[in-house]
Amino acid sequence: MTAAVPTTVSIALDQERSYDILIGSALLDAPSSWQGLPSAAVAVIVTNVTVAPLYLERLKRQLAPVYGRVDAVILPDGEAHKDWDSLNTIFDHLLAKACDRKTVLFALGGGVIGDMTGFAAAVYMRGVPFVQVPTTLLSQVDSSVGGKTAINHPLGKNMIGAFYQPQRVIADLDTLDTLPPRELSAGLAEIIKYGPIADAAFLGWLEANIDALLARDKTALAYAVRRSCEIKADVVGQDEREQGLRAILNFGHTFGHAIETGLGYGEWLHGEGVGCGMVMASDLSVRLGLMPPEFLPRMKILIERAGLPVVGPKLGVSRYMELMRVDKKAEGGAIRFVVIEALGTASMRPAPDDLVAQVIEAHTA
């Protein structure tokens, strides 16, 4: 396994809210990773029961010279716990320990921890600084970048949240060494989406290097994480609050979120829902006459090679449609989908219900 050369990708917003994404190996133990962050008397690390035994003490050691006190909040693991109860556990600690509005929160974990910590930071005392320390591939390439924070509701995924940017993202590729294979594959889904929506050459690179990524080759991972972050940084810099362009980052997510919500949070991983959702969205792109027929098998083969499901659960067409009408991209009850117009170019548009029903029937069992 080859080593990765550290690199930095910048998110360009207004001057006060721009920040860097640090990508590389051994970043967790590098003092430079933690320099230049907001000063405070207290830092609070939010993590979960799975990640805490692996990395909590290491992060505490790095933060101890920077902050007078370093606390930890350890939450249950899993999408099923991305809810009000877990959010209130964070608030309970902050209030019980008299944490002030300069307290810095550190999100140590995957997308669930990052989303909840960011949301807590956005609303505690109307906003405190936070830092993303993503430890899963999915969070390194997607959820830790761009400032989307949220919790789930039984009726819809990520429906309660806020746009709130971190101070820094520190993506240590070495944390992927402890990632279970299923979680690695889930992260690959969010990487794969960047090819068809923004970079046709990157899609070809992924087809040539998917085995290296599954083998956790650090050079391949470093490039995939960097290129993913570069594409997302460019999109977020143009459309931070998803008024238009940023919606293309949700390729496959409308179908995928329906699967996650319909089965119950945690039954499928988010990336598994997105992987299967991309197959459906690719088929929809073909059925709308936007893409040639060979696009669907090309995407399906890559997604399957990544270890992701390509057939969704048979929830029923009416249930899929019901769930997708609650999607954040829906307008006036009309479902809108991210579709591919040409390799590297995506748009969002409605589709006839009968066409969507055909897609669902073709890819569920």
pLDDT digits (tens, 9 = 90+) for 120-168: 999 999 999 999 999 999 999 999 999 999 999 999 999 999 999 999 9
The answer to whether residue 91 sits within a structural domain is yes
Residues 261 and 339 in one domain: yes
Is 253 one of the catalytic residues? yes
Which of the residues 250, 272, 328, 336 is marked catalytic? 250
Of all residues in the chain, the percent with pLDDT exceeding 70 is 99
CATH of the domain at 329: 1.20.1090.10
The whole-angstrom separation of Cα 278 and Cα 190 is 10
The whole-angstrom separation of Cα 130 and Cα 155 is 28
The answer to whether residue 298 sits within a structural domain is yes
Residues 151 and 52 in one domain: yes
Residues 195 and 302 in one domain: yes
> Residue 1: is its pLDDT beyond 60?
no
Tokens 């919790």, residue located: 151
The whole-angstrom separation of Cα 56 and Cα 82 is 20
> Residue 3: is its pLDDT beyond 60?
no
> What is the pTM assigned to this prediction?
0.94
Residue 143: CA atoms inside 13 Å, Cβ hemisphere, count?
31
- How many independent structural domains does the chain possess? 2
Residues 261 and 309 in one domain: yes
Q: What's the N-to-C CA distance of the chain in angstroms?
A: 39
The answer to whether residue 228 sits within a structural domain is yes
The answer to whether residue 2 sits within a structural domain is no
Which amino acid is located at 8 in the chain? T
Residues 224 and 235 in one domain: yes
CATH of the domain at 56: 3.40.50.1970
Instruction: Tell me which of 178, 197, 222 is where a domain ends.
Output: 178
Instruction: Tell me which of 122, 151, 178 is where a domain ends.
Output: 178
Q: What are the start-end ranges of the H helices in 269-364?
A: 270-287, 295-305, 317-324, 353-362
Tokens 């929160």, residue located: 105
Residues 165 and 191 in one domain: no
277 DSSP 8-state letter: H
Which of the residues 168, 193, 226, 257 is marked catalytic? 257
Residues 88 and 140 in one domain: yes
Residues 213 and 75 in one domain: no
Which of the residues 81, 226, 270, 287 is marked catalytic? 270
The answer to whether residue 1 sits within a structural domain is no
Is 257 one of the catalytic residues? yes
Question: What is the domain extent for residue 118?
Answer: 7-178
Is 232 one of the catalytic residues? yes
Tens-digit pLDDT profile for residues 43-53: 999 999 999 99
The residue-averaged pLDDT of 172-192 equals 98
Coil, helix or strand at residue 266: coil
